[in-house]
Amino acid sequence: MPTGMITLLDIAKKNGSDRTVGLIEETVVATPELQLGAARTIKGISYPVLVRNEVPRGGFRSANEGTDRLKNNYVNKTFEAMIFNPQWAMDKAVAMADEDGPAAAMAREAQGIMLGAMIHLAMQFYYGVNNDAKGFPGLVAQYDLTGMTLDAEGAGGRSVWAVKFGPQHVQWLWAQDGTGLVVTPEREQTLYDANGKPYTGICQEINTRVGLQLGSRHSAARIANLDGTAGHTLNDDLMFDLLAKFPADVRPDMFLMNTNSLNELRKSRTATNNTGTPAPIPTEVGNVPIMLTEALKNNEPAVT
């Protein structure tokens, strides 16, 4: 589990109100990508990064003999933060009629909207423009498809990810110092019905910019094409093979999977006890914790 890293909640506490912090605390539980993943603020709306593709190896030499001079292999990449603007509104008359008052009515609405917004961001984390064409590129577009994919050889279906978070690896980018990560106060605004007729509503929003950085080809790896059929389900062999995709000096912080993948992993294990109790729900593999997420689909297209 990543420790000592700045997260979305830390940025919200720095720049947001108690209301914003509370909403984020309530709604990121289903999205460990946001709850635990590293985050940083940037001054503008884009962030240039030197991505190191490989590390040069030194060598021995004989006396009176030279050696080649070495250099790192870098690629310049620029990561852009895109506008993220969930908004919600309620008829003022409806809010005023709420038994607990208009503030409570708007708070309930905000909680549901924010939960959906966090799941949408977490889905963008993986699927990028295939999730929302106006958002940032996700891991699917950024990671090393050839070198860091383990094929379960099913007909599409699900993926399991192993991710290393941090400044040199995967991190969220919140633009303009994260100042937009604030739930605005309630304000009255004219709304219009389906026939264009006006009425008074109460409105709120978050208007920020967010992006995603993948800083190394060894920052994320994926088991793809888990379709649930015989021979194409999740098991410990696949999980350890996924770990083997990372070099010895890069240990992923977590495995990310949905409940169907977790259940497949549990079923692949044999319970060794006298009572015949089923195998317990797995919580880690190779001392790397397993995190459940709402953001990974069950119907991904086949990865080739």
* Contact between 140 and 156 (Cβ < 8 Å): no
What six digits make up the tokens of 73? 């292999």
Q: In Å, what is the CA distance from 62 to each residue of 68, 139, 147? A: 13, 45, 35
Q: Look up residue 20 and give its amino acid.
A: T
- Count CB atoms within 10 A of the CB of residue 11: 21
pLDDT digits over 76-116, tens only? Answer: 889 999 999 999 999 999 999 999 999 999 999 999 999 99
**DSSP letter, residue 248:** T
pLDDT digits over 238-285, tens only? Answer: 999 999 999 999 999 999 999 999 999 999 987 766 676 788 899 999
Distance CA 281, CA 97 (A): 46
Q: Binning pLDDT at 50, 70 and 90, where does residue 52 land? A: low
Question: How large is the average pLDDT for residues 20-42?
Answer: 94
Cβ density class 88-100: b for 16+ within 10 Å, e for less:
bbbebeebeeeee
Check: pTM over 0.85? Answer yes or no: yes
Distance CA 12, CA 180 (A): 9
* Contact between 166 and 235 (Cβ < 8 Å): no
DSSP 168-188: TSEEEEESGGGTT--PPPPEE
Q: In Å, what is the CA distance from 34 to each residue of 39, 173, 218, 280? A: 8, 11, 20, 27
% of the chain exceeding 70 in pLDDT: 96
